[in-house]
Chain A
């Protein structure tokens, strides 16, 4: 009985892994219809528009962790976005992208298995069956592996870049105008964001920074297109270590990997977040856990990201009196 259960579980896991690349590959191959050749504005998951960003020069796009299943944002993530939004009015904070779907389609709708995913999400939210709820995480982990795969990754990342671009354009971003972008990738969202930068850089003609919050990052070619990478990690969070071990390009031995090259150029900054875990109680976004100085983990995380945004602003804001070639493709490269 137990052997049969584990056998069935293993079979389901294998099938899920084998089917994982199909969404990205099918999108590229046009198998879902010609109208889906590019992810488009009518994608079911709504694009978040946190506030009127017309005056902003700095755009922040948040890519959530692997627990994300629907278009709704988890409370603790929303709390982080709210804090950033309130504290930095000069920055346009965009959320609600579904990073684990190349067509920006939430799991709980417009899919053959959407009934199951709705059920799984309910189980996850009310905590009644953690194993079923965890299937969402597993499904999204496999998408991270697709994004990190050198065969599938370029296709996945090309689509994801388009999703992010659509979100930015809707919010008033003007490519090549001197505006700039910071991607915040939480957990697996870090790799998704990183992979997308190779195409995003070409679309946006703007400096792109990446803040990885407990992220799993490969030595991705996208690193070459980053202005700067900030890695935030807690001492009780094992997830970033998994990435470091899993991806050979991260090993110091491979001296000439994308990762090690960026590191030598001093364009990777690692920030220790203290005794924080990955998620849930004691995680980066926990408002009920506190550092010795009395600040909550959530507030500390928001403040740390805020400082990074300020640093990026100082680095990239034009000096007074300097002429901006706003529509020139190379104009936005000055700060990078």
Chain B
């Protein structure tokens, strides 16, 4: 239905006002076909991109415990959130590309990258609430529910726009995700190096993210963490990382 509408109508380049923006977001998260049709008809990314960026910031806040555990200072903390949000946008673009490749090659679909980017971006709308993962104890469960909700929204959007069955949309999303992981493993090493460098530069230290390593550091206490990351930075690059003031702290 939506696919036919897409073919028969002229794409609009309307400027999205806040009321329309929230109306479309509201319709998408409620899985209403007409909302996806309107989003798909628009030529721009006025709905999708703000959603993805806000979802990225929100997710970074929800997962910010990693920054606290690594004793990142407040100013660097804010920059780290911004970088995490930008990285989220990059992952979103790569995921969208993977889904397009799967649908075009596996199901012979005509899905274009801009169309998919609009639908997948709007599908991430529930993740705008990902900051709720910060809530103690219930946060992890809330995060899982939001992820499932986002997945459902993306699948519904793709199925409606491309006129494929929901299971095909699910397969496309799963294979798209798998493709993304495989590509990251094979050719993504330089990207990972850049990402790690970026995070380390902004945070001012190597971020300890492995659960076992975090557990050891907590047991040893804050000073041990400070010594460990400082030592690590000294080994990696004597001139890079923490400021002189931070280096002299215990």
Contact = CB atoms under 8 A, between A and B. Distances in A.
**Main SS of chain A's interface residues?**
helix
B167 interface: no
A30 B249 CA distance: 11
A29 B208 CA distance: 13
Given A31-B74, A38-B221, A155-B218, A18 B68 contact: no
A37 B136 contact: no
B72 A151 contact: no
A30, A37, A148, A152 — which one has the most chain B CB atoms within 10 A of its CB? A30
A158 B73 CA distance: 20
Contacts of B140: 150-151
Given A20-B136, A145-B136, A152-B136, A37 B218 contact: no
A219 to B, nearest CB: 13
Contacts of B136: 17, 20-21, 142, 145-146, 148-149, 152
Residue from A31, A150, A151, A155 having most chain B Cβ neighbours under 10 A:
A151
B218 A34 contact: no
Contacts of B15: none
Interface residues of B, number: 26
B250 interface: yes
A199 B219 contact: yes
Nearest to A162: B221
Contacts of B219: 154, 158, 198-199, 202
A288 B150 CA distance: 56
B32 interface: no
Nearest to B225: A28
A41 B51 CA distance: 48
Contact of A17 (B65, B135, B221, B222): B135
A26 interface: yes
Interface in B49-102: 65, 67-69, 71-74
Contacts of A21: 65, 134, 136
Interface in B169-210: none
B110 interface: no
Interface size class of chain A, counting residues whose CB lies under 8 Å from the partner chain: 20 to 34
Contact of B221 (A29, A150, A152, A158): A158
Contacts, number: 66
B222 A25 contact: no
Nearest to A199: B219
A17 B134 CA distance: 9
Nearest to A19: B134
B223 interface: yes
Given A21-B65, A34-B250, A29 B137 contact: no
B71 A145 contact: no
Interface in A288-321: none
A151 B65 contact: yes
B114 interface: no
B218 A154 contact: yes
A306 to B, nearest CB: 34
A28 B68 contact: yes
26 contacts: A17-B135, A18-B134, A18-B135, A26-B68, A28-B69, A29-B67, A29-B68, A30-B71, A31-B74, A34-B250, A37-B222, A37-B223, A37-B250, A38-B221, A38-B222, A145-B136, A145-B137, A149-B136, A149-B139, A151-B65, A154-B215, A155-B69, A155-B218, A158-B219, A158-B221, A198-B219
Given A18-B132, A28-B71, A154-B215, 12 more contacts: A14-B135, A17-B136, A18-B131, A21-B65, A21-B136, A31-B73, A37-B222, A145-B136, A148-B136, A149-B136, A154-B214, A154-B219
Please provide the 10 A-B residue pairs with the shortest distance between their CB atoms, ordered closest to farther: A25-B68, A145-B137, A145-B136, A146-B136, A154-B218, A149-B136, A149-B137, A29-B71, A29-B68, A17-B135
